[in-house]
Amino acid sequence: MGLEIPEGPFKAYLFDCDGTIADSMPLHYLAWNEALAPYGAHFPRNLFYAWAGIPVPKTVEMLGAELGLGLPPGPITEAREAAYLKRLPQITPIYEVKEQIELHFGRAPMAVVSGSPRASVIRTLRYLGLYEKFDVIVGGDDCPRGKPFPDPFLKAAALLEITPADCLVFEDGVLGIEAAVAAGMQYVRVPVSDENER
C-alpha cells in the first residue's frame, strides 16, 4: 500500500477506525444491507463509500431521503450494529496503519476519531488488541456535528491538549479528509483495498 507521511514533527496522531485502522468497511456494508432489508431498502455501494465517516443515525436519515423511504434511525442503527458484531471475528487490521500506531505508541498521544458509535469503535479496537494504545476515543455519538465538519477532530485535539496544527490525521474517507483539513490538520490518506469502490 505505502503511506505517504508528511514531514513533521507532529505532537499527536489521530486515526479514523473503519477503513483506516480496521479493514472493516466491507463488513459494515454487509451489516448495513442486512439491517435495511426488512424495510425494502438497499444501500448503494457508491453512496456507502462516499458517505463513510458520517454518524449512523444521520446516514439513515440521508439514505431515507435518497431512496424516498421513511427509515427509522433507532431500529436500523441497532440492527446494523448487531449485524456488524456478528462479523467482528472476520476483521483484520490494516497493517501499514497498525505499524504507525506501534511506532508512535508511548512517544506521542493518540486518538481514534470515528463516525461509528463509540461502543462499536471500542469493540473493534479491543478485538484487534489496539484499544490500550489510544488516549482518547471520539465516536460518532460524541459530537452533534460529525465529519465532514471539523468538530470530531477538534474535540480529540482538545481532549489531548494539543494544538490542531500539531496533529496528523490518518483517514480513508473523503469526508474525513475534508474534516481534517477544516480542522487545520495535515493528513495521511489511507487507500482502500479496492479503489474502484470509491
Q: Is the peptide bond before 9 cis (omega within 30 degrees of 0)?
A: yes
Q: What is the pLDDT of residue 55?
A: 85
Does 140 score more than 70 pLDDT? Answer: yes
pLDDT tens for residues 83-139? 999 999 999 999 999 999 999 999 999 999 999 999 999 999 999 999 999 999 999
DSSP 65-98: HHHT----HHHHHHHHHHHHHHHGGG--B-HHHH
**Residue 107 CB coordination number (10 Å):** 8
- Is the pLDDT at 160 greater than 90? The verdict is yes
Based on its alpha-carbon atoms, the radius of gyration of the chain, rounded to whole angstroms, reads: 16
Q: Is the four-CA dihedral 33, 192, 47, 22 of positive or negative sign? A: positive
d(CA 75, CA 197): 27
Res 2: pLDDT = 82
What sign does the CA torsion over 70, 118, 48, 33 have? Answer: negative
pLDDT at 5 over 70: yes
Q: How far apart are the first and last CA of the chain?
A: 16
pLDDT given for residue 103 in this prediction:
96
CA pair distance 45, 104, nearest whole angstrom: 34
Query: If we measure between CA atoms, which residue out of 87, 55, 93, 69 comes closest to residue 175?
Result: 55
- ∠ CA 169-151-2, nearest 5°, is 15
pTM of the shown model: 0.90
Digit-coded pLDDT (tens) for 35-81: 999 999 999 999 999 998 888 899 999 999 999 999 999 999 999 99
Which domains can be identified in the chain, with CATH numbers?
12-24+92-197 (3.40.50.1000), 25-89 (1.10.150)
pLDDT at 8: 85
Q: How confident is the model at residue 10 (pLDDT cuts 50, 70, 90)?
A: very high
Is it the case that residue 195 has pLDDT exceeding 70?
A: no
**Cell numbers placing 103:** 511506532
Res. 197: pLDDT tops 50: no
For the annotated catalytic residues, the residue numbers are 16
Q: Would you state the pLDDT for residue 198?
A: 36
Q: What is the largest CA-CA distance in the chain?
A: 50
Instruction: Determine the residue type at 44.
Output: P
Q: With bands split at pLDDT 50, 70 and 90, how would you rate the model's confidence at 1?
A: low
- For residue 160 the three cell numbers come to 489531548
Q: Are 192 and 165 in contact (CB under 8 A)?
A: no
Length of the chain: 198
